Amino acid sequence: MDTEYKSRTCKKNEARALQRLGEQLVALPFGQLEALDLPDELLTAIELARRIRSHGARRRQIQYIGALMRHIDPRPIKAALDRIRSGNLRK
């Protein structure tokens, strides 16, 4: 059992941070996205989010992407996004 206590607010803030990270992934060009070596299920969800035009449906898809990201370590993704923003695409 998990002995580390997290408040409800802390859990919500972490979930929102993952959703914002997911939004950044949706905005990336496909070539850069492939270079991040993401799980197939997450890549599929991101591609679907790109095709959705309805605001409500897109918001729900971003929430789903955030839920998928809870099961992976977001630190390498954040580091890769920082490298992409700085212009250094090498690993």
User: 20-37 b/e with 16+ CB inside 10 Å = b?
Assistant: ebbbebbebeeeebeebe
CA 87, CA 68: separation in Å to the nearest integer? 27
What is residue 36's predicted lDDT score, i.e. its pLDDT?
Answer: 87
Whose CA is closest to 58, among 66, 48, 67, 68? 48
**What pLDDT is recorded for position 35?**
85
CB 18 within 8 A of CB 69: yes
Name the residue ranges covered by the structural domains of the chain.
Answer: 8-86
Predicted confidence pLDDT, tens digits, the chain (91 residues) = 557 899 999 999 999 999 999 999 999 998 888 888 899 999 999 999 999 999 999 999 999 999 999 999 999 999 999 988 888 655 4
What letter would DSSP give residue 71?
T
CATH number of the 8-86 domain: 1.10.60.30
